[in-house]
A and B are shown apart, each in its own frame.
Chain A
Amino acid sequence: MYVEDLKKDFYEFLAGKRVFLVVHYDIDSICACKILQSLLRYKHVSYSLAVVRGLEDLKTAYHENCADVKYYILLNCGGTLDVIEELEADEDVTFFILDSHRPTDLCNIYSNGQVKLLSLPDEDVGVPHFHDIFREESDEEEEDENDSEGSGSEDRASKRRRLDEESIMKRRERRLWEENRDKLVFDYSQFTYYARASAIRLFELAWQLNKEDKDLLWLAIVALTEQMLFGKIENTQYTLEIGPLQAHANRLQNMTNDTDVLTSLKIAFEKDLRLALYRHWSVEDSLKYSMFTAVKMKLWSLRGDKKLHELLADMGFPLIQSRQAFKSMDLQLRKEFHEVLEKLSEKYGLQDLVYASFTLQYGYRNKYCAADIVYALLAILEASPRDKKPEELFNLALDCLSRSKKEVLDSAIERAKIIVKTLFKTAQSALDLKQIITAGPFVYYIIQEGCLDWYMFSHLQILLLLAHFILRAYVAVSRNRKAPSLPLVVSAPKSMDAGTCIILGIPPLCENSPKNFFGKAFEQAAERINCDSKCDYFDTSYFEIHTKDRTRFFDALTALLS
């Protein structure tokens, strides 16, 4: 069931209770978690916190603590599955779920109170009606069964005949109902997609409670930016969400009277460029490695390289300057950068280079755009040394978001550059070596075990970014007219020891929508070839199988989608 009044039935309800927070390992969750923590503190709600990466982690976290804690808040996890069933939860346990993964499991939506959804009902699209899905076994039927079991009555035969007719009718009706239900459920759960970021929902709660501030707003902004950068939501949705956040930014800015540069914090609504990390990089590198410019100008080729230099020349940026760190470039050039590039964007086919975003400014020297922070968090969560545990990285990511730990942020940004570069180089070599293969209804790309950077791509979000990059690059160079209408499947090694790999599918470019049908397709393909599969991820467009089954799996998928 949905919680209608978050303030009364969630926030105030929790006062004085012990709560367990289960947080999914992603950027939106971290932002949401930070907002929630600050809210819980006002009420002195004592909590413990666990980080989960998949269903198994969720089960472990629940079973380790279910004896001691009765209230669970699940952030970005658990919404898409029947938690009561999956966790074998006791009756006295209550789950509050705020999950941006869709579709939400129908059992959660129609739960009688043990599962409480914190999202808005209209974020779940096309939810079937209760009676179309759940059918109360009528008393009659039960009697029916009792009767047929109890033998020995006199006019059994005649009664049975009568009953037979009745039950045939009933069974028929029931079959029809079941068919209808299966269809409804299939339609409902056919696509996996994302609803609005959980952090935004919690920020709104904070606002409702009059406990919002710029720090919390910034978290909501970062979460939204992540969804946009990783292609999890449509552009229109991004535009829709950004309006209210801009209003909040203005309002909060006007409310403060802190003018001291050293301590004040300023969130500005600004046009930004789709160039990764350029404020902390050099102009040339950022232009070259960012997906947007790389794909539009085909920068992986020699010709692309030349074009890039032409662009720089057109802009009036000497090579020496554009290879310098942005911060140490001539002030004049730095000021002009935006404008000049915007002017030239049409000439170089870079329309849409500019998008609306926010920057955060504090102290004299610290200015970050929301995307910078997203990249930094990504680097911490998914590109840290292998010996770090997810909990440590989660803690580090929280540190990265607190302004007092600038060194954490800066080193994360350095690592983020490596990610961006690696994405570019991987896409480049995929094209050079013609590794992007058409399989009829889809194209696929496999990162082989021997690949230098395979470990980096065994992480969900980086793999997603790579998939976007590869698909766009493929469409840009492909002579196949159908290319924009083909989806892409990528696969990367997951664990060398276990011999498993991840499969990720993304929808075709022409659909212009992140709605993803691969979850169901993967499931069916795996069923067809009867292979061992694991669906531990909350986002079902990811799948995990044994590497040895991959060829058969792809065959089955081809057959299925043809």
Chain B
Amino acid sequence: MDEAAIEELELSDAESFEEVQLTAAQVIEMMEEAWVNEKFAPEILPHKMEVVDCLLGQIAYMEENLQSLPSTDFKKSIHQLEVDRLRFLVSSYLRTRLEKIETYVTHILKQEQQRHESKEDLYLSKQELKFAKEIAEALKQNFDGLVSFYPGLPLEEWVSQPVQPNMHSFVFLKSKKDVNEVVIDDGSIATEGESDLVDFREGAQILIAYSSVAGLLKKGDVKLI
């Protein structure tokens, strides 16, 4: 076994992420958190493309190093498995987002438009946005062709009632720090002050309607589990 190659593998952790001051382990942890959050949140979350790109870079680097190891080396298989695992993580994260984008495309594009108008950060990455627009267009064309036999049909309904995520579905979460007075949204229209409040301690695990914690999640105060 080429000791230098292994060392290099490990060194790569420190070197390639110097500019963002992150270790490889930190990047992986961030990716894992983003993946779990995306997997369990009903709606699409702000994208984490910088983490994805970071990790992909690291995967490419590791694979390059692995190439140079003889195929019989036991360490190679361990590292290869790790690379495969990381690639699964990224793929699964991106796949989950694509699923959501496709399922809720009309809804998501509408929200992105609003965010764009109010100069907020978009949730979709550039590539995702392009993809979303393309498939929305393809869907529209398909439907247009369908109802073109008679002009002026009442078609507003599928646009006005787009497929939407169920924001009230329940999620398990873990609080990353103390958060006080979270308003519990039970779906009823409660007036201010009447609604129930709850405090999260750091590390606490809670089952709660997603709508109550969507904001906290996006801020990074809590994570889903």
A residues within 8 Å of B by Cβ?
A: 15-16, 43-44
A44 cross-chain contacts in B, Cβ below 8 A: 77
Q: Which 3 A-B pairs have the closest CB atoms?
A: A16-B72, A15-B72, A16-B71
Kindly name the residue among B70, B72, B77 whose own CB sees the greatest number of chain A CB atoms within 10 A: B72
Asked if B77 contacts A16 (CB within 8 A), the reply is no
What residues of chain A lie closer than 8 Å to B70, measured between beta carbons? 16
For the A-B complex, the count of residue pairs with Cβ-Cβ distances under 8 Å equals 6
- B interface list, Cβ under 8 A from A: 70-72, 77
Instruction: List 6 A–B pairs whose Cβ atoms lie within 8 Å, in order of A's numbering.
Output: A15-B72, A16-B70, A16-B71, A16-B72, A43-B72, A44-B77
User: Which of chain B's residues have a CB closer than 8 A to the CB of A43?
Assistant: 72
- Nearest chain A CB to B157 CB, angstrom units: 52
Bound complex: CA A179 to CA B72 (Å): 51
A429 to B70, CA, bound (A): 66
| CA A44 to CA B72, docked complex, whole Å | 8
Q: Which residue of A lies closest to B77 (CB)?
A: A44
> Which B residues are CB-close (under 8 A) to A16?
70-72
Provide the bound-state CA to CA distance between A44 and B71, in Å: 9
Distance, CA A15 to CA B70, complexed state (A): 11
Roughly how many angstroms separate A43 CA and B76 CA in the complex, as a whole number? Answer: 12
Chain A residues contacting B77 (CB-CB under 8 Å) are: 44
CA distance A44 to B81 in the complex (A): 13
A282 → B minimal CB distance (Å): 52
Q: In the complex the two chains form, what is the Cα distance from A266 to B72 in whole Å?
A: 35
Nearest chain B CB to A210 CB, angstrom units: 15
B residues within 8 A CB of A15?
72
A15 to B72, CA, bound (A): 6
**Chain B residue at smallest Cβ distance from A14:** B72
Whose C-beta in chain B lies nearest to the C-beta of A44? B77
- B80 and chain A: residue at smallest CB distance: A44
Residues of A within 8 A of B71 (CB): 16
Return the chain B residue nearest A42 by Cβ.
B74
Cα A44 to Cα B76 in complex, Å, equals 11
Complex CA gap A355/B106 in Å reads 77
Least CB distance from B83 to A in Å reads 15
Within the complex, the shortest CB–CB distance from B87 to chain A, in Å, comes to 19
**How far does the alpha carbon of A16 sit from the alpha carbon of B73 in the complex, in Å?**
9
Nearest B residue to A12 via CB reads: B72
Question: Considering the chains assembled together, what is the distance between the CA atoms of A15 and B74 in angstroms?
Answer: 10
**Given the complex, which residues of A lie within 8 Å of B72, measured CB to CB?**
15-16, 43
Chain A residue nearest to B71 in the complex (CB):
A16
User: How far is the CB of B77 from the nearest CB of chain A, in Å?
Assistant: 6
* A466 vs chain B, min Cβ distance (A): 49
CB proximity of B113 to chain A, nearest CB, Å: 52
The distance in angstroms between the C-alpha atoms of A43 and B77, with both chains bound, is 10
Q: How far in angstroms is the closest Cβ of chain B from A554?
A: 57
Q: Write the chain A residue with the least CB distance to B73.
A: A16
Smallest Cβ distance from A505 to chain B, in angstroms?
48
**How many angstroms between the C-alpha atoms of A408 and B157 in the bound complex?**
55
Q: How far is the CA of A16 from the CA of B71 in the complex (A)?
A: 6
A44 to B70, CA, bound (A): 13
The answer for the CA separation of A43 and B72 in the assembled complex, in Å, is: 8
CB distance from B72 to the nearest CB of A (A): 4
A271 to B101, CA, bound (A): 67
Cα separation A43 to B71 with both chains bound (whole Å): 11
From residue A10, how far is it (CB to closest CB) to chain B in Å?
Answer: 15
Q: Which residue of chain A lies nearest to B72 when distances are taken between CB atoms in the complex?
A: A16
CB distance from A71 to the nearest CB of B (A): 14
| Nearest residue, chain A, Cβ from B70 | A16
Report B2 CB to chain A, min CB distance, Å.
16
The smallest C-beta distance from A430 to any residue of chain B, in angstroms, reads 58
CA of A318 to CA of B70, assembled, Å: 70
Q: How far is the CB of B135 from chain A (nearest CB, A)?
A: 39
Q: CA A16 – CA B72 in complex, angstroms? A: 5
Closest Cβ of chain A: how far from B76's Cβ, in Å?
Answer: 9
Closest chain-A Cβ to B69's Cβ sits at a distance in Å of 11
Distance of A16 Cα from B76 Cα, bound (Å)? 12
Assembly CA distance A336 to B70 (angstroms): 62
A45 to chain B minimum Cβ distance, whole angstroms, is: 10
Instruction: Give min CB distance, B67 to chain A, whole Å.
Output: 15
Q: Distance in Å from the Cβ of A508 to the closest Cβ of chain B?
A: 53
Distance in Å from the Cβ of A39 to the closest Cβ of chain B?
15
Give bound CA distance, A44 to B77, whole Å: 9
* A43 CA to B74 CA, complexed, in Å: 8
Q: How far is the CB of A224 from chain B (nearest CB, A)?
A: 33
CA distance A44 to B75 in the complex (A): 12
Chain B, residue nearest A15 (CB): B72
Roughly how many angstroms separate A413 CA and B71 CA in the complex, as a whole number?
A: 44
Bound-complex Cα distance A15 to B71 (A): 9
A16–B77 alpha-carbon span in the complex (Å): 11
Smallest beta-carbon distance B85→chain A, Å = 17
Q: How far is the CB of A262 from chain B (nearest CB, A)?
A: 30
Bound CA span A15–B77, Å: 13
CB of B108 to closest CB in A, whole Å:
44
Would you give the shortest CB distance from A40 to chain B, in whole angstroms? 13
A107–chain B nearest beta-carbon distance, Å: 32
Minimal beta-carbon separation of A11 from chain B (angstroms): 12
**Distance, CA A65 to CA B71, complexed state (A):** 23
**Which residue in chain B gives the minimum CB-CB distance to A43?**
B72
- Specify the chain B residue showing the minimal Cβ separation from A16: B72
A83 to chain B, nearest CB (A): 27
